[in-house]
Amino acid sequence: MFIGEYQHSIDPKKRLAVPSKFRNDLKNKIVVTKGLDKCLIIYPMKVWQELAEKLGTLPIGESSTRSFVRSMLAGAVDCEIDKQGRILIPDFLKSYADLDKNVIIAGVYNRLEIWDEKKWEEYKNNAEKNTDEVAEQLGKLGVY
């Protein structure tokens, strides 16, 4: 399980170090794709394969579904974690998430999210304003 947030930086060669605590769980092969809210998502290969199978079975008759599936699958790249624990972030993904040098890697249960540091702070500030409301909704579902 991936939890916590970690401050890292992308080097001039577009490499990003994966937090050492997560490297064993990720193994060597991962998938990086476009995420919601303009972040990137790192999936362990097994989790990605399960998600891709589900996406592949969605009906393509609706344009919004088609667009989402296309964005997730066509926007994904296989990556290998190098011996120093780094991954290469392709230009098109770096651009999609507006990543500069300083990023946050957030553990979100079965995946990692890569955020521009400033966007992450904005996102957290906005999300924290709704914490009580979300907790009430989750309580009704028996989650919280």
Per-residue pLDDT of 96-127, as tens digits, reads 999 999 999 999 999 999 999 999 999 999 88
Q: Which residues of the chain are under the pLDDT cut of 70?
A: none
Give the per-residue pLDDT at 38. Answer: 96
Residues linked to residue 8 through DSSP beta bridges, in sequence order: 103
Question: Which residues, other chains included, contact 49 with Cβ-Cβ below 8 Å and sequence gap of 6+?
Answer: none
Q: Can you tell me whether residue 37 is helix, strand or coil?
A: helix
Give the per-residue pLDDT at 69. Answer: 93
Give the per-residue pLDDT at 110. Answer: 97
Contact 26, 48 (CB under 8 A): no
Nearest residue to 14 via CA among 122, 138, 114, 118: 114
CATH of 2-116, one of 3.40.50.11890, 3.40.1550.20, 3.40.190.10, 3.30.420.40: 3.40.1550.20
Q: What residue type is assigned to position 65 of the chain?
A: T
Residue that the structure tokens 């989790």 belong to? 47
Give the per-residue pLDDT at 138. Answer: 82
Contact 103, 17 (CB under 8 A): no
End-to-end CA, the chain: 19
